[in-house]
């Protein structure tokens, strides 16, 4: 089997990739989608952000200090939680803290299991292992909890009368919203499950593709990709469960009635 190793991309070749952006821009302009400005700005931001993170990671990998790695992961969790909740229409409750705690707990737990028991780097706190693994887990968990949180609040808003009737008949808050919670958990986990179903048949995910392009044996790349897929699945499930488990109770008052915010959002 031929092994090319890492094939470097020159500055000219990198500039040629702009052709792909121009193709998307022409489609937007031709159909008058109004996305050309966002597309150009997004491309510029992506290039700047990726360039900066490349230099930053090289510096972090050289330092390789556990406290620094932990602080970076916490910062990543905060940014992910903010992005996950920014577009979710939640009443006056603050979902950012709940999302941060859920993402941090689920991502850290799964990362510890994967890094210390499966990959086992030396030293165990290797930044070159922890940060990429944590980033993959966090990115997918972020999408899951965002979908779950949005679906839960929408479901409760849509069934306010039914939930209040159940509460009047003596149901507990959990009994009143458990159907909404189940739908929210399904919504949060469905994208990850769909990815599991088609991986290798329809998609060759990023980590596997990157290792193959770097010259790794495809059979070894498959092993890593399988670990990545199951760790993403576990983290998404735990993150959604923690988020919903904490958030649903905030919809109710101490008297076990729906909060005024939830009733107003329904009206």
Answer yes or no: do 201 and 260 share one domain.
yes
* Alpha carbons 83 and 74: distance in angstroms, whole number: 14
Answer yes or no: do 113 and 197 share one domain.
yes
Q: For 200-215, what is the mean pLDDT?
A: 74
Q: For 250-262, what is the mean pLDDT?
A: 74
How crowded is the C-beta side of 188, counted as CA atoms within 13 Å? 31
Answer yes or no: do 126 and 227 share one domain.
yes
* Domain end point (choices 63, 79, 106): 63
* Alpha carbons 86 and 165: distance in angstroms, whole number: 31
Domain with 27, as residue range(s), is: 1-63
Answer yes or no: do 57 and 74 share one domain.
no
Answer yes or no: do 170 and 86 share one domain.
yes
Predicted pLDDT of residue 90: 61
* Domain end point (choices 63, 81, 98): 63
* Domain end point (choices 63, 83, 113): 63
Answer yes or no: do 17 and 146 share one domain.
no
CB distance 175 to 250 below 8 Å: no
- Kindly list the distances between the CA atom of residue 27 and the CA atoms of 36, 42, 46, 122, in Å, as whole numbers in the listed order: 9, 16, 20, 49
Instruction: Say yes or no to pLDDT of 75 above 90.
Output: yes
Stated as kind and residue range, the H or E segment containing 175 is helix 173-198
* Alpha carbons 7 and 19: distance in angstroms, whole number: 20
Answer yes or no: do 15 and 122 share one domain.
no
| Per-residue pLDDT reduced to its tens digit, 80-115 | 888 877 766 665 456 788 888 888 999 999 999 988
Answer yes or no: do 39 and 104 share one domain.
no
Q: How many domains does the chain have?
A: 2
Instruction: Say yes or no to pLDDT of 29 above 60.
Output: yes
Q: Which residues pair with 199 in a beta bridge?
A: 203
| Per-residue pLDDT reduced to its tens digit, 174-192 | 888 888 889 989 988 888 8
The pTM (predicted TM-score) of the whole model is 0.76
Answer yes or no: do 84 and 26 share one domain.
no
Answer yes or no: do 57 and 127 share one domain.
no
Predicted pLDDT of residue 71: 93
Answer yes or no: do 100 and 81 share one domain.
yes
Answer yes or no: do 71 and 50 share one domain.
no
Q: Which long-range contacts (CB under 8 A, 24 or more apart) does 208-212 make?
A: none
- Kindly list the distances between the CA atom of residue 29 and the CA atoms of 18, 42, 43, 73, 100, in Å, as whole numbers in the listed order: 16, 16, 16, 39, 39
Predicted pLDDT of residue 142: 86
Cα angle: 259, vertex 142, 236; to 5 degrees: 95
């Amino acid at each position: 089997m031929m092994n090319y190793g890492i094939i470097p991309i020159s500055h000219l070749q990198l500039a040629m990739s702009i052709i792909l952006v121009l193709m998307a821009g022409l489609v937007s302009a031709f159909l008058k989608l109004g996305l050309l400005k966002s597309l150009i700005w997004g491309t510029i931001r992506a290039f700047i952000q990726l360039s900066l993170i490349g230099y930053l990671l090289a510096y972090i990998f050289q330092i390789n200090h556990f406290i620094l790695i932990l602080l970076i992961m916490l910062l990543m969790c905060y940014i992910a939680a903010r992005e996950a909740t920014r577009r979710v229409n939640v009443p006056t409750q603050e979902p950012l803290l709940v999302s941060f705690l859920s993402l941090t707990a689920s991502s850290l737990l799964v990362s510890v299991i994967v890094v210390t028991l499966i990959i086992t780097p030396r030293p165990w706190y290797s930044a070159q292992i922890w940060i990429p693994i944590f980033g993959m887990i966090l990115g997918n968990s972020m999408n899951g909890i965002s979908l779950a949180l949005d679906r839960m609040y929408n479901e409760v808003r849509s069934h306010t009368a039914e939930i209040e009737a159940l509460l009047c008949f003596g149901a507990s808050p959990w009994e009143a919203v458990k159907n909404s919670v189940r739908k929210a958990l399904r919504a949060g986990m469905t994208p990850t499950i769909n990815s599991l179903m088609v991986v290798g048949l329809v998609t060759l995910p990023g980590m596997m593709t990157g290792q193959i392009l770097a010259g790794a044996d495809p059979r070894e790349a498959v092993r890593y990709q399988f670990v990545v897929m199951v760790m993403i699945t576990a983290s998404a499930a735990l993150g959604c469960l923690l988020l919903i488990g904490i958030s649903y109770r905030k919809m109710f008052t101490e008297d076990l009635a729906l909060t005024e915010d939830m009733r107003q959002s329904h009206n």
